[in-house]
Structure 1
Amino acid sequence: MLGWAITFLIVALIAAVLGFGGIAGASAGIAQILFVIFLILFVVSLVMRAARR
């Protein structure tokens, strides 16, 4: 999940440098959503691991 977020972030940065504003904005939005989902899943996994012990 984090790998996809980084991939979309890189696509957004390259698109922004080349002047493709719409694609850059969409890619940045997708990267942000994927990163938030990654953080939520990471916290849930930490809580579940702590609950098992």
Structure 2
Amino acid sequence: MFLSDVSIKRPVFATMMMVALVVLGIVSYRRLAIDEYPDVTYPTISVQTSYPGAS
């Protein structure tokens, strides 16, 4: 119950901690390298069959 006690007794502190976490998350996301999401080309397969005597 530590987190709830701190949030009730010190709401400004709890709000500032949440804002700090959100800001750190946004900064970390912005600094994420593009290499983390490379372009992926999926392999394709082509199958051809013949059926002699069919229309």
Given the two structures, how large is their TM-score scaled by the length of structure 2?
0.47
- Relative contact order higher in (CA < 8 Å, ≥ 6 apart): 1
Greater Rg over alpha carbons, structure: 2
Higher helix share: 1
